[in-house]
Amino acid sequence: AINPEYEVNRIGEFLRQTLKKTGLSKVVIGLSGGIDSATSLMLAVGALGKENVHVLFMPYKNTHPTAFKNAKAVVAFLQIPESKVEIVDVGSGVDALAASLGISQQDTMRLGNIMARVRMITIFDRAKKLGALVLGTENKSEYLLGYFTRGGDELSDIEPVQHLYKTQVYELANYLGLPDNILKQIPTAGLWEGQTDEGEFGFSYKEADQVLHLYFDKNFLLDDIVKQGFANAENIIAYAKKNHYKHKVPYSLDF
């Protein structure tokens, strides 16, 4: 368990100090309607003021209506002015690029990667236009599992919740009083219809977070974690190891 009041204060101070160092005052965030982006947005608004936060919602044609509804609910909950909220439909850009690369609509993984990268192009363009930093929304679970698109949702200038596991982000969101529909939303990257994080993993965030904590933070041996009754421990660590290269690339000679 975390101390949510302590986390809110330290994240707020981190955001303010980082912006001060860069000489900038604003951030841009991509809002999906999920727990991570909603929590990150709320932390940024609390720390920097809503006048310094620009929100982008970037739907694709398979974006679930619930995601849009949730994104609007967060914006309304935080009373962010309309002038600070922008909807950019990335569909035409994604489809045009996919068509030119010969990617079919059935090739969901490649199409999903294109979508994540087009969204990141959009966010960074807005940040350049506004003289702002890109506020990331990655949590520690996603980071350790390598659950992100290289050149896509991994890219940002500042990460407010990357030190917190997914289950801890829920704790923080609950403390902040985010609306119930956000707290109950099934985690998804929204890269294709019916896609969910846990469906892709084959295990739950609840189990993954406990296993990742024991393995990476406490340096437990995998065999000892399995003996504690975590049925998916081997799969979870294998998943993390399979994607570990994402933290190492690009490979280069020493200089």
Selected residue with higher pLDDT from 69 and 64: 69
| pLDDT at residue 104, rounded to an integer | 92
Mean pLDDT throughout 95-124?
A: 95
The domains of the chain are located at 4-197, 202-255
**Is the confidence at residue 210, as pLDDT, over 90?**
yes
DSSP for the chain reads ---HHHHHHHHHHHHHHHHHHHT--EEEEE--SSHHHHHHHHHHHHHH-GGGEEEEE---TT--HHHHHHHHHHHHHTT--GGGEEE---HHHHHHHHHHTT--TT-HHHHHHHHHHHHHHHHHHHHHHHTEEEEP---HHHHHHT-S-TTTTT--SB-SSTTS-HHHHHHHHHHHT--HHHHTSPP---SSTT--HHHHHTS-HHHHHHHHIIIIIS---HHHHHHTT-TTHHHHHHHHHHTGGGGTPSP----
Mean pLDDT throughout 31-56?
A: 97
Percent of the chain predicted with pLDDT > 90: 86
| pLDDT at residue 187, rounded to an integer | 87
pLDDT of 216-253, one tens digit each?
A: 999 999 999 999 999 999 999 999 999 999 999 999 99
Confidence of residue 66 (pLDDT cuts 50, 70, 90): confident
pLDDT of 116-146, one tens digit each?
A: 999 999 999 999 999 999 999 999 999 999 9
Confidence of residue 204 (pLDDT cuts 50, 70, 90): very high
**Is the confidence at residue 63, as pLDDT, over 90?**
no
| pLDDT at residue 185, rounded to an integer | 86
pLDDT of 154-202, one tens digit each?
A: 999 999 999 999 999 999 999 999 999 899 988 887 767 778 899 889 9
**Is the confidence at residue 67, as pLDDT, over 90?**
no
Selected residue with higher pLDDT from 65 and 98: 98
Average pLDDT score over the chain: 95
| pLDDT at residue 195, rounded to an integer | 81
Mean pLDDT throughout 47-68?
A: 92
In CATH, what class is 4-197? alpha beta
